[in-house]
Chain A
Amino acid sequence: MKSEALSHIRICDFTGQLAGAGATRWLAAFGAEVIRIEDPIRHGRWDILRGSPPFKDERRGIEFGSGFQNHNVEKLGITLNLRTERGHELLEELVTISDVVSENFAAGVLDRMGLGWDRLVELRPDIIYVSNCGFGQTGPYGTFKSWGPIAQAVSGVTHQSGLPGEPPAGWGFSHLDHTGGYYMAIAILMALVHKERTGEGQWVDMSCTEAGASLHGADLLDWSVNGRSMRDAGRPDSNRSTSPEMAPHGVYRCRGEDNWVAIAVRDDREWGELKAEMGGYADSAGLNDSRFDSLAGRMAAVDELDAKVTDWTRERNRFEVASGLEARGVPASPVLRPAERIDGDVATSRWGLWPMVEHAAMGGVRVDGQPVHLSKTDWSIDEASPTLGQHNDYVYGKLLGLSEDEIADLKAQRVI
Chain B
Amino acid sequence: MDHLSQVELPVVKPTAPPIDAPGPLNGIRVVELAHEFTAFAGRLLADGGADVILVEPPEGAAQRNHGPFAEDQPGPERSLSWWAENRSKRSVVADLATAEGRELVASLIASADVVLESKEAGWLADLGLDHDQTSATNPDLIHVAITPFGRDGVGGTHNHTDLTILARGGPMWSNGYDDHELAPMRGRGNQAIRTACHFAVMSTLTALLARSRHGGQFVDVSMVAANNVTTEFASYGWLSAQETVQRQTGRHATPRPSEPTQVLCGDGRYLNTGVPPRTGKEFTALLQWLKDLGLDEEFELTALLEMGTEYETISLAMLAEDPLAGEVFGAGRDALAYIAANVSAHEVFVGLQQRGIAAGVIWSPDEMMTDPHFQERGFPVEVYHEELGRSVLYPGAPIRFTGSPMRAPVAAPRLGQHTDQIRDELASR
Contact = CB atoms under 8 A, between A and B. Distances in A.
A55 interface: yes
A139 interface: yes
19 contacts: A30-B206, A137-B14, A141-B7, A145-B356, A150-B360, A154-B361, A154-B363, A170-B251, A204-B400, A216-B188, A218-B66, A251-B167, A251-B183, A253-B183, A258-B180, A329-B157, A330-B159, A348-B224, A351-B154
B175 A214 contact: no
Contacts of A140: 1, 4-5, 7, 372-373, 376
Interface string B24-51: 1101100000000000100010001000
Contacts of A305: none
A183 B399 contact: yes
A67 B234 CA distance: 11
Nearest to A156: B365
B184 to A, nearest CB: 5
Contact of A353 (B44, B202, B228, B264): B228
A172 B379 CA distance: 27
A66 B237 CA distance: 8
A70 interface: yes
Contacts of B70: 225-226
Given A146-B360, A204-B401, A221-B83, A172 B174 contact: yes
B85 interface: yes
B194 interface: yes
A333 B225 contact: no
Interface residues of A, number: 164
A222 B68 contact: yes
Interface residues of B, number: 169
B207 interface: yes
A14 interface: no
Contacts, number: 576
B22 to A, nearest CB: 10
Interface stretch (B212-220, B286-294, B335-343): B212-220
Interface stretch (A231-239, A278-286, A399-407): A231-239
A193 interface: yes
A334 interface: yes
B199 A372 contact: yes
Contacts of B25: 190, 193-194
Among B203, B208, B243, residue most surrounded by chain A Cβ atoms (within 10 Å):
B203
B171 interface: yes
Contact of B364 (A141, A224, A229): A229
B266 interface: no
Given A213-B368, A213-B369, A334-B168, A169 B177 contact: yes
A191 B209 CA distance: 11
Nearest to B404: A194
Contact of B373 (A135, A159, A221, A229): A135
Contact of B187 (A171, A187, A362, A368): A171
A336 B67 CA distance: 29
B155 A143 contact: no
Contacts of B40: 217
B369 A348 contact: no
A136 interface: yes
B250 A158 contact: yes
B221 A153 contact: no
A372 B187 contact: no
